[in-house]
Amino acid sequence: MESLMLAKTAAGILDAKKADHLNVVRITNISSLGDYFVIASGTSNTHVHALADEVEEKLKALGTAPSRVEGYRSNSWIILDYDAVVIHLFTPEAREFYDLDRLWADGEKVDLKDILI
């Protein structure tokens, strides 16, 4: 799956599962870490885990599995690494602490109005 389509598909899955403050940032021109970051918040650590499980399950059904999953045992953040697309899921407190939205503000924000409910 092409990286923009993967990022938008993940964003749609997260939106359907009621993720908060959903952002997709194109980082191709500013980093070698990948093409896109998908950043979202859950309302609690349980919600963050449910978001991660849903994305992983739905993308696997489409034939795409993460190369790495980090932070699953954490109570505040999970990262699903699909190589070209890295999905960051946080509790509100962890999102504020790590502030990836500010750190990657030089990236190009992807318009999601065509996929958000």
117 found inside a domain: no
Overall pTM > 0.85: yes
Say how many C-beta atoms besides its own lie within 10 A of residue 95's C-beta: 22
CATH number for the domain spanning 66: value is 3.30.460.10
104 found inside a domain: yes
DSSP string, 45-68: HHHHHHHHHHHHHHHHHTT---SE
> What average pLDDT does the chain have?
94
23 found inside a domain: yes
The number of distinct structural domains making up the chain is 1
State both tokens at 74.
């954490």
Domain around 34: 3-109
pLDDT in tens, 81-100: 999 999 999 999 999 999 99
* Residue 15, pLDDT above cutoff 80: yes
71 found inside a domain: yes
Element (H, E) at 79: strand 77-81
Give the span between the Cα atoms of 80 and 85, in whole angstroms.
8
Looking at residues 99-108, what average pLDDT do you find? 92
Give the span between the Cα atoms of 24 and 11, in whole angstroms.
7
CA angle 117, 90, 62 (to 5 degrees): 55
96 found inside a domain: yes
pLDDT in tens, 32-61: 889 999 999 999 999 999 999 999 999 999
115 found inside a domain: no
Find where tokens 């739905």 sit.
Answer: 58
What radius of gyration do the chain's Cα atoms show? 13
55 found inside a domain: yes
